[in-house]
Structure 1
Amino acid sequence: MADLDLIRGAIRPTLVRMTLPMMMGIVSLMLFNLADVYFVSQLGTREMASLAFTFPVTFAVISLAIGFGIGTSATLAKLIGGGKTSQAAKLATDNLMMTFLLVVFISVVARFFMVPLFNLLGASEAQMPFILDYMDMWWFGAAFVVSNMVANSSLRAKGDTKTPALVMAVSSAANLILDPLFIFGWGPVPGMGIQGAALASVTAWMGVFVYVVYILFHKYQLLVVQPPQLKRILSHWVQVMKIGIPAAVSNMLTPIAGGVLTALVAQHGAEAVAAFGVGNRLESLSLLACLALSMTLPPFVSQNFGANQIARVEAAYKGAIKFALGWQLIVFVVLFLLQDVIAGAFADSSAVEEPLSLWISVVPLGFGMQAVIFLSASTLNALHQPMQAMRISVIRLFVFFIPLAWIANYFAGLEAMFSSFVVANALTAVIAYFRVSRLLKRKAVVNQ
């Protein structure tokens, strides 16, 4: 996998070989999060509610990490594709160091604002000690989780998706083993409750971080020993952040819009909210293959962009779009045919089963278009057009999704609102596709 030639290799087999390991890696991350939720739920309702309060804060940091990773992958892959391997190694080294130091600084400062922040989020006085126990330990390891994502993005920029997938799987397995050990205790290891869940995650992150740094240094020479030069470091940091910050902001917009949509759904009762929550989890699983492709397409695009192989970029992008539309259509048909079985399995009452079945019969029809949107956004980031990618996210969420959902809900109710999700995805997908196509045509003309 590490020896894939992204510039000269056959496009479809190369993308397939890169994407399959990432699918396994994403599943591993899902299991990582489920393990924390499951074992903390065994402690009681207070601990489970306290863990839920930490999600907005930890998600903000994860969004920052994803943004930094996107910026890293796009910048490094372009340099590697252009044959500038020495410059790529220097940038990768400075970028990883600055990422680690920045998140350490954020972690130290954030500790002073935890109480007012969680009070603002609505945490009760009884929940606050559990929240602080968890977050004190989580902040200790935050630099490792962010740096891991950046280091894994460096590997993907090189064309290696097998190692990042392995790292995700190993960290997930380690977390699964350490969670019950640190939460409940065993033998000489004392039970630490909710803080043990954070310690298990931190320990897993630290372990895999050491391994990834070793691979980057010894196998790929993407980390080098070099004298610190402030001008060079800041120049490299700015290159990455030009893409990383808009990408991070785009990721942070999604939960904001999700909160608004949840509030609209809540007008139809708790059962509708429960069905909507299950639907969101089904959405993640249904889009798994395309999500993995959206992580492997950018390094391919950026390397070929750096090598001025625009025709290969266009072929890869259009091939990814065709796959996404065809695959998600198959997923929709399967979900539609099995909607009663799925709704019965996930719903704990007939009151939840009815809106969930409605969601399954309507919303997945737009998943193909949704895949087009995030594949287009990832391609724009890879082509060093982060503001265009961010505009697509803003258009999708705040021009189409929320206004159309509000109008449909106000005039026609829940089913119409679910249908509006499909319409919003379709409209945004058309805009996204034509923006990418137009950009590629311009670049092809410039290279002639």
Structure 2
Amino acid sequence: MRIRFYNARIITFAEQQTTGELDRNIIDGELWTEDNKIIYVGKTPAELSGSAQDPARATLPPFNREIDVQGNLILPGFKDAHTHSAMTFLRSYADDLPLLDWLHQQVFPLEAKLQPQDVYWCSRLAVLEYLSSGITTIFDMYFYPENFVQAMIDSNYRAVLVSALNNFYSSVANMEEEYHRYNNANPLISYFLGFHAEYTTSLDLLRQIAALANKLQAPVYMHSSESAQEVKDCLSRYELTPTVLFDRLGIYNYGGGAYHCIHMSDEDLRIFKERKLSIVTNPASNCKLASGIAPVCKILEQGINLAIGTDGPASNNALDMFREMFLVTALAKIREKDAACVPAQQVLQMACVNGAEALNLKAANSLQVGKLADLIILDLQQPNMQPLNNIVKNVVYSGSKSNVLLTMVDGKILYEKGQYAANFDVERIYYEVNKVIKRVKS
């Protein structure tokens, strides 16, 4: 399948394009895909500048489809670098409580009633929302990975999953088996070692996780330093912050990172920098749970890779990268009392490029020949995108899901002008998810 996107504005995030002001390096031209790869990005070739009947076109292979982008913007897809997709069943149910009360009083009791097939349908619902938000890849942590993986394969959607191991769920042996199985299951799927958090994972279990990470020479991810109480409790138990504890146990010997990282000491950040770890910030969830504002400026100044995640739909409640991008920069400006910190260009890079780095998906970090055909088209012909003083700033400061015209994953168009591909039975998905919540609430 060969597709031509023409008459487009393109931000490739190729290294040579981002050396200056990103908005001034936008390509006016076209992009071609063949199967799941990008095969051309650049100006319109002379052979295609004439009519469709021009004999010169015969020198090029035929396209199965040609899409006039009409001057709109092509970007690499957004990467949601931390989410819990199947928690769609708890959207707008478990709300208005601080983190630990929210988990223990609302989330854990209902999650205990979930069945494996529930995860399938709830994850498929999440994919619908990811696609309409321009998200082409997710980094997901949840239960029943087999059902989650099947949901992603049936959706033709790219996902990295990480173990949700804790004192009450799974085992290190299971995690090792899943690591080998899902890193070889399907090109759309990959798997990282991980665990829920320090406060749900015993010291003995943490030591076993460290041993496996060192055996496999693999990175590890977890929730960390999300609330002040979490850090305080860890200090009380071990006289160490979560980050220092993980590092001393050897969990970070082969990289990885953590989600949230709001309450970070200088020593914590030093470890992240030296170990080349990634941080995934989740501003909407952190605001809603009153967990705090991450030290985004300080993280970036240290040169630590910083990606963006929505967190799950029980704590957000949306899966909307436009809202996250705006909150990342707006909250950083408030925290630092500096309107110049975390500019729009840096935020867009977090959403498109840094997320790929955190997920070890370098093949999806830019729009270049040979890279994966994961891309989105944003509608610039809407009031919130006009005038075109600065397209990058428009995307971050005034963009919304309403601007997403098209989302392509692995060379397949899964969402276009409000319509989903044929492999999504939207009404069936809605029906099944509403059945889930009705049952677990009873």
- TM-score of the aligned structures, taking structure 2 as reference length: 0.22
> Which structure dedicates a bigger proportion of its chain to helix?
1
- TM-score of the aligned structures, taking structure 1 as reference length: 0.22
